[in-house]
Amino acid sequence: TALRAAVSAARSELFRDEQKAKEGYGSQPARKKNIVGGNN
């Protein structure tokens, strides 16, 4: 359903950010989360 799709999309997004951080792109995921969070 829609909710499940949203949850899985958010999880895959988080997973991608974690993989990036492990590879050494630590600042990129944080910047992305700030943009998604609403221009903090």
- Indicate if the pLDDT at residue 3 is higher than 70: yes
pLDDT digits (tens, 9 = 90+) for 11-22: 888 888 777 777
- What pLDDT does 24 receive? 64
Burial of 20 by CB count in 10 Å (0-12 exposed, 13-18 middle, 19+ buried)? middle
The predicted model scores a pTM of 0.42
- Indicate if the pLDDT at residue 8 is higher than 70: yes
Q: What's the average model confidence in pLDDT over 30-40?
A: 53
- What pLDDT does 31 receive? 56
